[in-house]
Structure 1
């Protein structure tokens, strides 16, 4: 595996999802098959909501460490509330990532059949408007994600709404990420997010305009992901790769440490990890299994998630 300069860009699709999905489905599919990544414009998430969410995120992470740690839920696998700096490790990594984060999950009505899989959200009292802001952003992310899934279904030759019931009331999680300025006390070899693949179905990422996000190509090169202002980065997660038997790739990616002035300032982003329902059984699509080709065994979305959370030190 070789490193490349940050100026090199992966040839990933950049498309508007405001146009008819039939016109872009195969371009998205090509990009997901080759790189596991695509960039979408005109995603429908209002800019004023994004601006409000970024302000609330910064306000929370600026709170004293002791205040933030009061929102860490022991035994919750980091699924809700605060996860402190120095906690998460990428699978196989020897040192922790240089980040802290907050998780917002789905809010289910009392007595819902899937309530056992999803803990209630908690909200920081110190940040006014935090709950409503991120409740609204969660819903907007989900709407955008469903449109991307419709395009993926069209590319795969499925009914346009194939994915709708698979993700209805899914265990999706929105992460508010803060990468603090780089300090001299960071462990040797630590970076903001070590090489990893995402667990979920697809990820939608806000806030990737600042340099640092890189993906690993089939050739073993690290390539920077170039993001136009206001666009969303989309990447395939392990669950969708498993469902398509590898036809769509869950690509290893990372966030590298910046140099110069950028190293002395924080970096913020907001990924939305769109998940299948916990009771959805991930069984490779028959159309994605070639003659004589092996396919992974069926597994529930929940069992797959827990398996992977243990691998990254969150469960």
Structure 2
């Protein structure tokens, strides 16, 4: 897909002319598609494979066992099949998404129950897969570091004199969803209009995706190309921006609209696991959109991060 640019964070860290070129590429890529392929990300080699191997052990458990850890959308634990329809977020009528999810999130509690019970709930760790806690914790620590660097790069790409995300992301909300997309040989044929994940944009700042290649994978929408398969690079992570970061840019950047295709008849046994890290900001961060000449609009009022995100999470919950 030509609209998605590739950058190397090692080049940006080096500074100088090469770093300026990376910043230009980021700005252009986020204007076009809201997506980037990111090399040089610094995530320890083999970590995502270890997480994926361990979580497959959890997903292989009987539903009666997984039910002990069942939660609704936005919770911490197992979100079973039929609970979520991401297409609802953009008012696209679709059957529920063809996936199950194990979700963890930020647990840096504030002491305010009204805040903590929504944004900083305790994580749930299945006794049946004891290695999962240490592996996922290591992975999400690496994702937090990477996400902060990506936001710093976003600020630099717009030539801002300072990085506003330093003060906006001291105690950020985030969620890591590990999605399991079962094979068609297990599920049967999808319903008409049904996806592994329906068409939508993400809600927060940056989303970092570690994906497996396969049929029925990620597609990205752009005006010039329509829907097209997202490029896959085994050395890179796929990064897209969400509604909150696009809003902050004053509608300069496009939130990356995407979907995950249903399982395909030509690959009926294709069983995929994706690691998806959704990064946000402090729950009470007040985001003031950039105005022209950087932003594209002057009529966007400030928003509070948690309020902005809550309406979108409610929208994708089935029932």
Q: Structure 2 unaligned runs (5+)? A: 14-18
Normalised by the length of structure 1, the TM-score is 0.89
1:109 CA displacement: 5.5
Task: Quickly say closer, same or farther: Cα 1:28–1:202, change in 2 above 3 A.
Answer: same
CA RMSD of aligned residues (A): 2.1
Task: Quickly say closer, same or farther: Cα 1:50–1:184, change in 2 above 3 A.
Answer: closer
What is the alpha-carbon distance in structure 1 between the residues aligned to residue 94 and residue 218 of structure 2? 20
Partner of 2:250: 245
Partner of 1:100: 100
Alignment of 1:111-126 (within 5 A): 111=111, 115-116=116-117, 117-126=119-128
1:314 CA displacement: 6.4
What is the alpha-carbon distance in structure 2 between the residues aligned to residue 80 and residue 314 of structure 1? 17
Partner of 2:84: 88
Partner of 2:220: 215
Q: Does 64-73 or 206-215 show the bigger shift?
A: 206-215
Q: Does structure 2 retain, via aligned residues, the 8 Å contact 1:257–1:263?
A: no
Q: Does 1:19 align with 2:11?
A: yes
Offset from partner CA, 1:97-147 (integer Å, 9 cap, x none): 101101110122574896353111111111021111111100101111111
Partner of 1:196: 200
What is the alpha-carbon distance in structure 2 between the residues aligned to residue 61 and residue 107 of structure 1? 23
Tell me, what secondary structure is at the counterpart of 1:87?
coil
Of 290, 304, 310, which residue of structure 2 is paired with 1:306?
A: 310
Tell me, what secondary structure is at the counterpart of 1:276?
strand
Q: Does structure 2 retain, via aligned residues, the 8 Å contact 1:79–1:173?
A: no
Q: Structure 1 unaligned runs (5+)? A: 1-8
Partner of 2:229: 224
What is the alpha-carbon distance in structure 2 between the residues aligned to residue 110 and residue 241 of structure 1? 27
Q: Does structure 2 retain, via aligned residues, the 8 Å contact 1:78–1:314?
A: no
Partner of 1:71: 69
Q: Does 198-207 or 104-113 show the bigger shift?
A: 104-113
Higher helix proportion? 2
What is the alpha-carbon distance in structure 1 between the residues aligned to residue 270 and residue 132 of structure 2? 23
What is the alpha-carbon distance in structure 2 between the residues aligned to residue 48 and residue 232 of structure 1? 13
1:67 CA displacement: 1.0
